[in-house]
Structure 1
Amino acid sequence: MFQPAGVIVDQMGNIYVSNERSHQIKRWSPGAIEGTTIVGENAGGGGPAQFRFPRDLSFDRQSNLYVTDINND
């Protein structure tokens, strides 16, 4: 089940959504019908590029994407 937690739009109009249930971050390009997983797996984890209930999203001045999650030890 899709449960969005955080949503942010970059300067090019791409929409980024954190999905708590799939532990992934997806990107929708302008006009896209389906999002593309850019990071995360379909199961939560504590390793590199893994999330456990990702929440908020933010960009810095260099357009790096930052993600917070609530349960990643």
Structure 2
Amino acid sequence: MLDGRAIALPLLESVYVSDTDNNRVIKWLEATTEGILVAGGQGSGNDITQLLHPLGVVVDALGTVYIADCINNRVMCWINGASHGDIIAGANVEGTEANQFYYPIGLSFDRHGNLYGFDERNHRVQQFKIEHN
């Protein structure tokens, strides 16, 4: 791991770490010595298989990983076992409008399932309703 920045501790006996400088998120199971790649790890970039300086990471009850993909100015979600992520907010460019970010760095869920993203350079927190199909 190189420059780990954030961790998520879901109730699944595991720890998720945003490995920022390696542009990936790693899952560590209890009592293991090697992590499992769950997002990114395909070099740096803005493709849906890539991350660029991931920071905040949270995991929902279904095991879906949400990532503040900082330099790409987006929030992505990776369904458990997926080979690529989906962009749920932002669009690979900085912006000040609703659903845009300029350096998202942190994420959190509330008890109602709303996702909050801290938008550092816009000095705001944005709320997103997550729909599960």
TM-score range, shorter chain: over 0.9
Distance 2:96 2:86 in 1: 22
- What is the CA-CA distance between 1:42 and the residue it aligns to? 1.1
Whole-angstrom distance in 2 between the partners of 1:20 and 1:31: 22
CA distance in 1, matches of 2:114, 2:83: 24
Moved segments of 4+, more than 3 Å = none
Q: Aligned runs of 1:1-73 on 2, under 5 Å?
A: 1=44, 2-72=52-122
Listed as ranges, the gaps of 5+ residues in structure 1 are none
Q: In structure 2, how many angstroms separate the alpha carbons of the residues matched to 1:65 and 1:47?
A: 17
Deviations 1:4-58 (A, max 9, x none): 0101100110000011111000000011011111110111110010000001100
Q: Higher relative contact order at CA 8 Å, sep ≥6: structure 1 or structure 2?
A: 1
Compute the TM-score of the two structures, normalised by the length of structure 1: 0.95
User: More helix by proportion, 1 or 2?
Assistant: 2
Name the counterpart of 2:26: none
1:4, 1:68 → 2: CA distance? 13
Which residues of structure 2 form unaligned runs of 5+?
1-43, 45-51, 124-133
Q: TM-score, normalised by structure 2?
A: 0.53
- Between the aligned partners of 2:93 and 2:65, the Cα distance in structure 1 is 22
